[in-house]
Every structure is written in C-alpha cells, then in structure tokens.
Chains A and B, each alone.
Chain A
C-alpha cells in the first residue's frame, strides 16, 4: 500500500509538467495498475474457483451455482403457482398506490422502495453484462436470460416478503431488514436458532464481499473502460491511469457516503431515472432504424437458444451465459434487494413481495433484452469486442456520438449502484460488527479504497471476483428461502382473505 501511495504522489507531482515527462508518467501508471493486478488476481481467481465449482456437462463447464439459482427460481415459481404472472396486475396497482392509505402519506411508498432497489440493480449488468453474455453465448443467450429473468421474479417475491416480515424496527423509527434478519429471526421461530444465526453470518460476510466486488470494483472498472473508450482509447490521457479515475470516483463516493453530502446523492437519484429513460429511448431508436432486421434478430435469438450455433458449448454454452448474466443483473435469489425493500411502510409484508417481483421484469426482461437486441441487430457481435465496449460500438453504428451519452449513463449507473451497494454492504457489516460510528466509517473507507482498486484492474480478475462474491450470497439466502417459503405462502393466504373480506381496501376505487 505504501508503494502504491508513493507512486501516486509521484504521479500527481509529475502531472501538468512538460511533455517530456508524459512517457515516464505512462510507464509509472502502468506499473501501478500491473502491480495491483498481480497482487489481487491470485486471490480473486482462488475465490472464484471455489464458488464457480463446475461440472462437465455435455462437454461444457456448468457452474453449479448457476444451477442452484435457476432451480430455486423454478421451485418458487411452481410453489407459488406462477405468482409472477397471476399477480402482475396487482403488483402494478400496489406501485401506483391504489392500496396505500392516504393518511400514511409521507412514509416510504411502494414506488419509492421499488425505485431505490432498482437503482441498485439497473446498472452495468444491463449494459456491460449483457454484452459479455451475448459475446460469449451468442444471441441465443438472450432467450435464456429472459427465461431466467421471468423465473427470478418468484425468487425476488419470496425474499422481499421475508425481508419486510422479519425486519427490525427500532424505537427511533428507523428500520433494518434483509436476509441477515430473516435467516436469524425466521429460523429461530422454527426452532433452528443456531443454524439460522450461522447462515445469517455467512450471508453477511458474502454480502460485504459482494458489495465490494460486484457492487463496487466491477462498477468502477467498467465505468473507467467506457470513459477511456470515448476519450480516445489507447491515446486517451486516462489510458493506463485507471487508478486516477478510480480515485475521482472514490472521492465523489466518499463525499456522499462518508461526508453525508446529500446534494450529490440527490442529483444522481434524479438523473439516473432520466438516464434509464434516455437509454431505453436510444435502444428503441436503434431498433426502429433497423426495423427490417427485427424479425431476423428474434430468429437469431430463438435459433441460437436451441441450436447454439457458433457458440462454445453449443446450447448449454448459450444457456449458461444467459442464466449467469440474468442472475448477475437482477440479483434474484441473491438477497440484496431484500435489504432495500424492507424500508417500505406497509402492514402487509406480502405487498412488498408483489411489488418486488416487478424488479427482475424491468431489469432483465425489459432493459437487458433491449441491450441484447441492439447488439444483435447492429451486427457488431463479429467485431470481437466484449463488455461495455461492445455495447458502445453497437450504439455508434446508428448514432456516432451516442457513445458519449452511454458514457454518462454508465458512469451515473455505476455511481448509483455503488451507492446502493455501499448501503447493502454496510448493513451486513454492522450486522456482523455491531452498529457504531467507528465501524460505520471503517467500512466506508474500505469501500472507497476498493473503488480505486477496481478501476486499476483488468476486466478478467474483476469480473471473476465480483461474480463469485455476489453468487456466494445466494447459498445461505436460498437455503433460508426454502425453509421459510411456507411463511410466505401463509402470508399470501391471509392477505387475500383480508382483501376479499374488505379489511384491506382499494383507496383509489373508494375515492372515485
């Protein structure tokens, strides 16, 4: 670390000096980035080889963890009788506020909980992650991504209901919820206090790791790649200076989460939804311009899904890539969103479950599919690019300056995702070490350090590490969901009988 800081200082001093020093500067920066890379890569590859333990399946490596998530999503889908399709309309009515008591105005609404949870998941997974999936798994990966997204809605429904049901409400009115709490409290109710506590701790440890990996390093890394791309690629002043970009991001983040400067957070929260709309709008424009290719693109997607033409591993290869990216993007079964959803003001935990099932739909079925369609239609798949560079190239085929808008979107998405994950990680951290100012500050400082590290590393080690830590959260979480799913079912039954009996009213209908 000392060496790192020394190099950093030296670079800061040499910055702004004569041109002759540029070469030395670039060389110094490369050394720092390489040093960070070589120091962290062995750790991240070790972690990921454990989490992504794979079996040979039809000649392709099949990571068991992906199967774990998809099987769980399928089980919840069947157990709750395809809740994601049956209650989709009710979910929309809840978000609209039809069932919200006007006297509760000023409390956290369903819409707000959903929007905040979405700002944590809609991000680089939707832009860069999809590009990785499509470049490795072909257009067919899109089909499996949609399937996984639809099934993931049931996982999200289960975990967010439990998150609200077992949250902690403190005397001062603040709330804390998430898998840590339903694992420990829910299991205790069923006479398994010990194992519940163990799972809760494992979850919290993985959540801290996941927040630092996928919720932080991956974000700053991909944001950096995109900024380098549009500022001139290899010749960009930032090329090889990932640490500098990381440092800027870390400072901005630190100002918000440590300094408590609300204005940056507020600006980001306002701009991110706008960016999401602009992003979808741009996707639609590109699809419209290429409208003659839409049928062909869907053909490619369906065809690729069942034939696996030209993809390493064929059908299974496409399926694995699609499933992996869907899970990484919408985080269903991971347990993270349950932390954000727990803050809603409702007497019925199940209502937040219904609202939460919209999340994978918006994230994966709508936004990810848009990205995949744009990449497929633009024909940039054969360029050999991957990650955010591929998405950027696809956008550039129609609107040459669009990569600049995409860059702004990427940086803002990355920033808001980092803000959300810093909160998830902090909640897990304080669950482990207790709530105190010092512990709070320590975690936030560590978090910001990893923002710098993330931007300094190559894509490979970062993606491995972030994927593995986020997926590791799914192990204790889904065990918990299996044990507690009868609780969700009885919550649902009680809720619908109250609704039928008129104890819970639709306020909007009552008014008109």
Chain B
C-alpha cells in the first residue's frame, strides 16, 4: 500500500526510533515518508517590544536551524532509496500533524513514545495521547 507515513521528528531518541520504524515499513511497502518538524508556537503568547522587533529575524534563524536539524535524517532516508518529503511548521504539534495528515493521500502517522507512567506525563498527556484522540488517520506509536 503505497501511501504516506508522516513522521514527527525532532532528533530525540524517540523520534529516531519512529523514523527507523517508518523507514522499514516504507522499504517494504514503497510508501513515501513525510518528515515533519514542529516549532511550538502560539500566536497568543506574550512577547516584549524588543522580541516583537526581532521576531522576523529570529523566525528566519529558527527555520534554517530546523532545516539543518532534519537534513541528516532526510539524507539517510534518500540513501536507502525511500521517497522523502518534509515540512517545518510553527504551531501546536498534534494539531498541525493532524492537519497535514488530512491533506496527504492514504496517510498514517508514526511517532515515538516519549512518556512513562510519571504523574506529570499522565496529567499533561503527551503529543502521542493528543494524536491518538484526535487523529483522522491511523497512528502508530513506536516504543
């Protein structure tokens, strides 16, 4: 089933596992991998006047840093002859990944498991929890 495997990637160990899992699946099925990196951002946060002035400059810097961060992962996928696309976006991670999933044909979401059973994790939930509850497509959580 050639479709799109959307992988949330931020270079953490969990996201590396998710990417490796997706790569294996893609090799077997011929699916495309869509690497997504989200920069957490709220348009309703408060910034100082100085931060407002520099925002556009900082955003440009953040975007290029993010592109550098995902570049090695993309190259290694390409080296394995896997079709790769990527996206760097600002906003709420789970919300954006769902939005992207709706736009891709036959999409599935693959993410790494980050949490354990600690109280904080249970209260705050993780991105995985939010995705499982809200995703319009199947979600695979890689332990």
Q: Which residues of A contact B (CB under 8 A)?
A: 97, 100, 102, 105-109, 111-113, 115-116, 119-120, 172-176, 265, 269-270, 272-273, 339-340, 343-345, 419-420, 423-424
Contacts and interface: CB of A to CB of B under 8 A. Distances in A.
Contacts of B62: 106
Given A106-B59, A106-B62, A175-B56, A420 B43 contact: no
Contacts of B57: 172-174
Contacts of A102: 91
B43 A423 contact: no
A107 B62 CA distance: 11
B39 A106 contact: yes
B46 A115 contact: yes
B44 A173 contact: no
Contacts of B60: 173
B2 to A, nearest CB: 28
A273 B53 CA distance: 20
A246 B12 CA distance: 46
A175 B47 contact: no
Interface string B43-64: 1111111101111110110110
B52 to A, nearest CB: 4
Between B45, B52, B56, B60, the greatest number of chain A beta carbons within 10 A of the residue's beta carbon is seen for B52
A105 B91 contact: yes
Interface residues of B, number: 23
Contact of A105 (B46, B48, B50, B89): B89
B48 A265 contact: yes
B48 A423 contact: yes
Contacts of A97: 43
Nearest to A104: B90
Nearest to B39: A106
Contact of B53 (A106, A119, A175): A175
A119 B90 CA distance: 25
21 contacts: A105-B91, A108-B52, A108-B56, A109-B43, A111-B43, A112-B44, A116-B47, A119-B46, A172-B57, A173-B54, A173-B56, A173-B60, A175-B56, A176-B53, A273-B46, A340-B49, A340-B52, A344-B52, A345-B55, A419-B49, A420-B49
B136 to A, nearest CB: 14
B49 A112 contact: no
Nearest to B43: A109
Contact of B56 (A116, A119, A174): A174
Contact of B44 (A109, A270, A272, A343): A109
Given A108-B52, A112-B44, A173-B56, 15 more contacts: A100-B43, A105-B90, A106-B63, A107-B55, A111-B44, A112-B45, A112-B47, A116-B46, A116-B47, A174-B53, A176-B53, A270-B46, A419-B49, A423-B49, A424-B49
A258 to B, nearest CB: 12
A108 B58 CA distance: 11
A443 to B, nearest CB: 13
A203 B123 CA distance: 53
B37 to A, nearest CB: 12
Interface string B24-37: 00000000000000
B42 to A, nearest CB: 9
B50 A423 contact: yes
B91 to A, nearest CB: 5
Contacts of B43: 97, 100, 105, 109, 111-112
Nearest to A97: B43
A84 B112 CA distance: 50
Of B41, B49, B55, chain A has the most CB atoms within 10 Å of the CB of: B49
Contacts of A172: 57
Q: Counting chain A CB atoms within 10 Å of each CB, which of B45, B53, B90, B91 scores highest?
A: B53
Top-9 shortest CB links A-B: A106-B90, A173-B57, A343-B52, A109-B43, A105-B90, A423-B49, A173-B56, A269-B46, A108-B55
B125 to A, nearest CB: 22
A107 B49 CA distance: 14
A146 to B, nearest CB: 27
Contacts of B54: 173-174
Contact of B52 (A112, A265, A424): A112
Contacts of B50: 423
A185 B14 CA distance: 53
Contact of B55 (A119, A343, A420, A423): A343
A343 B56 CA distance: 9
In this complex, the member of A115, A173, A176 whose beta carbon has the largest number of chain B beta carbons within 10 angstroms is: A173
Interface string B83-108: 00000011100000000000000000
Contact of B47 (A108, A272, A345): A108
A175 B53 CA distance: 5
